[in-house]
Structure 1
């Protein structure tokens, strides 16, 4: 069996809210977001097996509350539910970082109690989604969001902003869509900050969206940088 995990971050206090965790970076993705600065993960192959990850976690269980499954796109891996059961057997909480393009899988994980927190990437409004992600998967994202809104899984929605790609009008449109769907939580805005090569060969810029221009009754805008 191919090794699914590209890399392991041994410890983080930032990636799982209020929890100590490690991060498993899954190789491969079904998008090619122009601002992505992890092309080695997205286009590369894994270096660690599920067994390698379990062995690592067993050695560090006393330090960890949970495990973050990130990528790339971890939900592309068919053995993920079985791996989540193994993590649960080890007493781990599970957070999944996802682009929201595998709604069927998240239904299965929810039904079996195999996910405790989800961070859903909202890439762009419908009209720009294909050009920014180089995919035709927006409808799957919508389906995934509807499932989350009906579930009891704690989750957050986050958007990465490179101001060559998204502007304030785009964000207003995205907020309006979320409000229409009934979302009333936190929308995290992450400004693009990186000096590495991006998939879209974008320039490294310091442009930022002005948070003072946004007001939304049911949605709290949280700017992370």
Structure 2
């Protein structure tokens, strides 16, 4: 039996804006980000099938507005559209957390009305992307951004900042890129402040960037921590 889901967070008020939700963490990822603090999910195997997840959700139907599909990278799983159909049929809202590496899957999900909210990770500017993500998927991220910008489904863009990897100059480059693409809105900054082992074995840090040093007329940088 296919078991794509590594683990389940039963309840969250933080991960789906204005909704009660649970998080399904999909196993496996096509990026190996140096700051990733979920190596067990990225490198591990799934423990729960889609049927397991649906059974779990059926017991919590009165508590939850929606489901966050995270990972790992949920859009790497071919059965995701069918699973989203099942979630929507159960009356649940669907949020997808994605690294943007599968624009075709994202376009398919949006075209079928299977997603209610998307969080797109903007990992790094183009010149640092491969080094930080250990992948050559920057152009796929660009395509996914374009897919989202031409759709009406609400989405956010977020960046995790480990100060050994990104600084204010990098964020300025990223903001300038988004502005040139016509994006207007908020870029959420999540500082890496975890004291756990990272995939790239980076030093723990409590350092932070200063978003006031990043200039933009169209994009507001919002700190999440």
Which TM-score band applies after superposition, normalised by the shorter structure? over 0.9
Q: Which residue in the other structure is 1:211 paired with?
A: 211
Q: Which residue in the other structure is 1:7 paired with?
A: 7
Q: Which residue in the other structure is 2:155 paired with?
A: 155
Length-normalised TM-score, structure 1:
0.99
* Alignment of structure 1 residues 46-125 onto 2, 5 Å: 46-125=46-125
Shift of 1:218: 1.1
SS in structure 2 at match of 1:63: coil
Structure 2: unaligned runs, 5 residues or longer = none
Q: Which residue in the other structure is 2:177 paired with?
A: 177
For residues 65-122 of structure 1, the C-alpha deviation after alignment (integer angstroms, 9 at most, x for no partner) is: 0000000000000000000000001000000000000000111111110000000000
Shift of 1:198: 0.4
Q: Which residue in the other structure is 1:223 paired with?
A: 223
SS in structure 1 at match of 2:61: helix
Shift of 1:193: 1.1
- Partners of 2:215 and 2:56 in 1: how far apart? 44
- Partners of 1:2 and 1:62 in 2: how far apart? 27
Task: Indicate if the aligned counterparts of 2:168 and 2:211 stay in contact, CA closer than 8 A.
Answer: no
How many residues align? The count is 225
Length-normalised TM-score, structure 2:
0.99
SS in structure 2 at match of 1:31: coil
Shift of 1:214: 2.2
- Partners of 2:183 and 2:126 in 1: how far apart? 17
Shift of 1:217: 1.2
- Partners of 1:213 and 1:117 in 2: how far apart? 29
Two-structure CA RMSD over aligned residues (Å): 0.6
Shift of 1:24: 0.1
- Partners of 1:75 and 1:85 in 2: how far apart? 14
* Alignment of structure 1 residues 111-150 onto 2, 5 Å: 111-150=111-150
- Partners of 1:114 and 1:204 in 2: how far apart? 38
Shift of 1:184: 0.4
- Partners of 1:224 and 1:214 in 2: how far apart? 16
- Partners of 2:185 and 2:96 in 1: how far apart? 18
- Partners of 1:6 and 1:113 in 2: how far apart? 26
Q: Which residue in the other structure is 1:191 paired with?
A: 191
- Partners of 2:105 and 2:202 in 1: how far apart? 32
Task: Indicate if the aligned counterparts of 2:94 and 2:116 stay in contact, CA closer than 8 A.
Answer: yes
Structure 1: unaligned runs, 5 residues or longer = none
Shift of 1:196: 1.0
Q: Which residue in the other structure is 1:38 paired with?
A: 38
Deviating 4+ runs (over 6 angstroms): none
